[in-house]
Amino acid sequence: MTITPTQRVHDDIELSSESFWAQTARQRDASFATLRRERPVSWQPPAYGSLMPDPDDPGYWAVVAHEDVISVSKAHDVFSSSPELGGVMFENVPAEFLDATQSILAMDEPRHGITRRLAHAAFSPRQIRQIEQQILHQAESIVTTLLEEGPRDFVEQVSMRLPLWTISGMLGVPEEDRQRLVDAVDAMVGYNDPEYIGDRDPFMTLFEGMTTLHDIAQKMIDDRRSRPGGDDLMAALVDAEIEGHRLTDDDLRSYFCLLAIAGNDTTRNTTSHGIKALLDHPEQKKLLIENFDRAIPGAIEEFVRWGTPVMTFRRTAKVDAVVGGVDVNAGDKVVMFYSSANRDESVFRDPWSFDITRNPNPHVGFGGGGVHFCLGNHVARLQMRALFREVLTRVPDLSLGEPEMVTGHFMHAVKRMPCSF
């Protein structure tokens, strides 16, 4: 007899409520650790959320073990990211919205492969070399400003500035639109947080953010089309052509939104978690300072594992499959918990110890491998190398207060973190 999704019993350990996500990462990991040990694939009630509550939603499979996160990530022919089947967000989000803002992240093959190759124009070795220089200058000037302004909030004064400047610089966003871009991205990422949206409707907040980003992007697209030959990323994307395929205006606007969001909050939060971990573990900070060039690559991987800024992404099974020994039916939602996989004790010895010399460090912070693996991982590493060098050498007596976290199941986000020196 086949058990339908609505007949399945939800697990006793529940990962979907707001109260679960209001806990600290360490408190949440007590539940994940039991599931990793006893039921690495468990059936869960739908995630809390405010965008598209659906009384008929039966729930999802929670995948919490490192090995299973990797196998789901790599099986893109079995597990879909497409908006028609629900896309990649834990919470249900309207398909039109995903189409308009998530570009390649929410696409299946073959469209994903073609668009990703075109979008890759943004990350050619030439582009990366060009932005490396910008990143070095920007990191230096962020720390100069911090020293001039005096310490207040590390997130506002350091963590959030570099990713925003990098993305705006890479894409060639006009100076006068940069603050609008930040405000739109903040509202889109914080749509569940009363501090960002006040008494506005969460869906309207997302929609307004998207309209602002599309408006900024369209002006840039029109400009690059009317003046070919520019050397910023938007010009490269407008000109990109592979085997007769080109990016349409819709593709370009959506990719612009993806980069503005994916390239901002991720590095911002890795920086905040990374600096806090270093200051909480002075012996690790000393190790890094003593031999910065040798130690920083391993330290960056540990910052990403430790912080795991992207905590969840979802897929939907296109066909019947088996994950971690559990039968998953076509149409079932499958949610990968990167934050749990990055604390999997069968892969990481003593996973709650912060160790910048951890080797190997096969974290899944940039995704579990496969076709959607983070396209910006090199840029993120460049940013962190530049910023940590500046902060650690020029503000040696930095100290930090407790971080104030955003409650949510997507970004492991630090809202504020008082600093002094």
The smaller minimum CB distance to ligand HEM, of residues 5 and 370, is found at 370
Q: For ligand HEM, which is the closer residue by CB, 128 or 395? A: 128
Taking CB under 6 A as the criterion, the residue among 94, 230, 370, 418 binding ligand HEM is 370
CA atoms within 13 A on the CB side of 396: 5
Is 313 a residue that touches ligand HEM (CB under 6 A)? yes
Is residue 354 part of the contact set for ligand HEM (CB under 6 A)?
Answer: no
When binding is defined by CB under 6 A, the residue of 28, 36, 66, 116 that contacts ligand HEM is 116
**Helices and strands per DSSP (H, E), number in the chain:** 18, 13
Q: Given the rule CB under 6 A, which of 206-214, 320-328, 364-372, 399-407 is the region that contacts ligand HEM?
A: 364-372
Binding mask 262-291 for ligand HEM (x = CB under 6 A): xx--xx--x---------------------
- Residue 12 dihedral angles phi and psi, to the nearest 5°: -65, -30
Residue 104 is a binding residue for ligand HEM (CB under 6 A): yes
Indicate the residue among 16 and 82 with the shorter CB distance to ligand HEM. Answer: 82
8 A C-beta contact, residue 89 and residue 314: yes
**DSSP code string of 35-81:** HHHH-SEEEEPPPP-SS---TT---EEEE-SHHHHHHHHH-TTTEE-
Q: What is the DSSP annotation of 352-398?
A: TS--TT-SS----TT-SSSTTS-TTHHHHHHHHHHHHHHHHHH-TT-
Q: In this structure, what token pair is assigned to residue 410?
A: 């997507």
Find the part of the chain contacting ligand HEM (CB under 6 A) among 18-26, 57-65, 286-294, 371-379: 371-379
Count of residues binding ligand HEM (CB under 6 A)? 27
- For 279, 361, 388, 399, the CA distances from 293, given in Å and listed in that order, are 19, 18, 11, 23
Distance, in Å, from the CA atom of 64 to the CA atom of 74, rounded to the nearest integer, reads 15
Q: Pick from 367, 386, 398, 408: which binds ligand HEM (CB under 6 A)?
A: 367
Assess 372 for contact with ligand HEM (CB under 6 A): yes
Give the shortest CB-123-to-ligand HEM separation in angstroms: 8
Q: Exactly one of 32, 196, 366, 388 binds ligand HEM (CB under 6 A); which one?
A: 366
Give the residue ranges of DSSP H helices in 291-376.
292-307, 338-341
Judged by CB under 6 A, the residue of 185, 236, 375, 419 near ligand HEM is 375
Pairing of strands 419-420, 41-44: unpaired
Residue 399 corresponds to which tokens in the numbers above?
Answer: 């100290």
Nearest CA to 32 out of 311, 277, 274 is that of 311
d(CA 2, CA 9): 14
Task: Pick from 221, 317, 341, 380 the residue near ligand HEM by CB under 6 A.
Answer: 380
Q: How far is CA 220 from CA 41, 253, 419, in A?
A: 45, 10, 37
In the list 47, 105, 160, 398, the residue contacting ligand HEM (rule: CB under 6 A) is: 105
Task: Show Cβ contacts of residue 261 under 8 Å, excluding neighbours closer than 6 positions.
Answer: 101, 185, 188, 189
Nearest approach in angstroms of CB 291 to ligand HEM is 23
Shortest CB 29 distance to ligand HEM, Å = 18
**Could you tell me which stretch among 5-13, 215-223, 341-349, 368-376 binds ligand HEM (CB under 6 A)?**
368-376
Q: What does DSSP say about strands 41-44 and 326-328: parallel, antiparallel, or unpaired?
A: unpaired
Classified as helix, coil or strand, 413 is coil
Tell me which stretch binds ligand HEM (CB under 6 A): 27-35, 50-58, 141-149, 376-384.
376-384
Q: Give the range of 141-149, 222-230, 239-247, 307-315 binding ligand HEM by CB under 6 A.
A: 307-315
With CB under 6 A as the contact rule, the residue among 51, 114, 326, 374 that binds ligand HEM is 374
Is the distance from CB of 365 to CB of 251 less than 8 angstroms? no
Candidates 421, 281, 267; CA nearest to 356 is 281
Residue nearest to ligand HEM (CB): 376
Q: Are 216 and 62 in contact (CB under 8 A)?
A: no
CB of 309 to ligand HEM, least distance (A): 5
Residue placing its CB nearer to ligand HEM in the complex, 86 or 376: 376
Q: In the window 52-81, what residues touch ligand HEM (CB under 6 A)?
A: 73
Give 118 or 304: the residue with its C-beta nearer to ligand HEM.
304
Q: Find the shortest distance in angstroms from Cβ 4 to ligand HEM.
A: 28
Question: Which residues would be at the binding site for ligand HEM (CB under 6 A)?
Answer: 73, 104-105, 116, 258-259, 262-263, 266-267, 270, 304, 309-310, 313, 365-368, 370, 372-376, 379-380
